[in-house]
Structure 1
């Protein structure tokens, strides 16, 4: 059964041998969290903004901080995502957060129904 969890939760579940394997998105800053565990890199990660088809950001060639300040954000519950979002707010100033979710379908609904932007790591 596939289940979405925060990267830090997956790491701890593998460490406690409650989980045999897991996929995580982690940056070089957090590599020390993996000490003593064996994770194999399967993909070079990226940070993306996921929007609805109606979001005006899709028509922009290049985004500015002013473009982001006007958006409403929906975030997955994940400490690593939180750190990225905090850094983004350091650059842009305060950003409106309309949802913090664990469920992908709920995130899709918030993005499409509320025209929110999701900060996502792949």
Structure 2
């Protein structure tokens, strides 16, 4: 049974889409389809119901996918041991992340602590500009930031930047909100809406842009508290603004919410890790990045 084929099948099960799985894993759709077919022939069962809308795992096959995940995780652990055998890295990692980054980073820390119980962490949540400053002053080892794509060269000059996701700002509402059935909203659709926003350096400029366009909005509060944001979306029929990474990682039960494209000119936003070049060579940092990338791909939607 081919490890790569299992990886492809697990990704299709997660995304419910051969197209998305192929894009996430940087392979062709044909490669994914052939892997599914070969595994189905090998196991003599049908794993997915394929339709024009997607590829849906047959419920009885869920235990098979769970076993494949176990095998892939074990394979990753074996590869990590082989890659870093004999290398001694930092015994403590200091990192800071943007609002929205904590949940996935905490998962990565938990995974690392399971393998390396003696490893210590210092974790904080800050705005991107503060994280970059702390990296430059060596107050932290590395950080997860969100930055406008056209600012990377100037703001991160002299630092290493590992991009993990590129996107833009979206509106987010509960599925019960009247805007939730729209694929794209215009500025006038936001007229009179109540906003609750994360402490994100992209949120305030967006609100200012709405105001300058003549759209009247009311910002009820700003917070890093995802439970408060989520409660306001549901109970107050509020709207929030942010990049999809923040929604996916910060809002519990994010499947209860809908991200909506905003019909307005925007700058591309890039999410990624920033550090000094010397830090990128540390084996503990590299192990953490491996764990984070694996978990990030598992939760990406």
Per the normalisation by structure 1, the TM-score is 0.82
Q: CA deviation at 1:3?
A: 4.4
Question: 5+ unaligned residues in a row in structure 1: which ranges?
Answer: none
* 1:32-80 deviation line (CA, Å, top 9, x unaligned): 2222222111111221111112110012343222210131111112333
Deviations 1:4-56 (A, max 9, x none): 32222222222222222222111134332222222111111221111112110
Q: Distance in 2 between matches of 1:65 and 1:19?
A: 39
**Does 1:91 find its partner at 2:213?**
yes
- State the match for 2:130 in structure 1: 9
Name the SS for the 1:40 alignment partner: strand
**Matches of 2:129 and 2:185, distance apart in 1:** 30
Residue from 18, 41, 52 that aligns with 2:163:
41
Computed over aligned residues only, the root mean square deviation of the Cα atoms, in angstroms, reads: 2.1
User: Which residue of structure 1 lines up, in the alignment, with residue 144 of structure 2?
Assistant: 23
Looking at structure 1, the residues matched to 150 and 162 of structure 2 have their Cα atoms a distance apart, in angstroms, of 17
CA distance in 1, matches of 2:230, 2:213: 26
Evaluate the alpha carbon distance shift between residue 61 and residue 81 of structure 1 in structure 2; reply closer, same or farther with a 3 A threshold: closer
User: What SS does the corresponding residue of 1:26 show, helix, strand or coil?
Assistant: strand
Quick check: 2:187–2:210 contact (8 Å CA) kept in 1? Answer: no
Kept after mapping to 2: 8 A contact 1:5/1:102: no
Q: CA deviation at 1:85?
A: 2.5
SS at match of 2:240: strand
Return closer, same or farther for 1:26/1:95 CA change in 2, 3 Å cut-off: same
Name whichever structure is richer in strand by fraction. 2
Q: Across the two proteins, how many residue pairs are aligned to each other?
A: 122
- Report SS of the residue matched to 2:196: strand
Aligned-pair CA distance for 1:112: 1.8
In structure 2, the partner of 1:120 is 242
Q: 1:75 aligns with which of 197, 214, 224?
A: 197
CA contact (8 A) 1:8 1:78 kept: no
**Rg (Cα) greater in structure:** 2
Contact (CA 8 Å) 2:202, 2:242: kept in 1 or not?
no
Q: Measure, in 2, the Cα distance between the counterparts of 1:85 and 1:109.
A: 21
Identify the structure with the greater helix proportion: 2
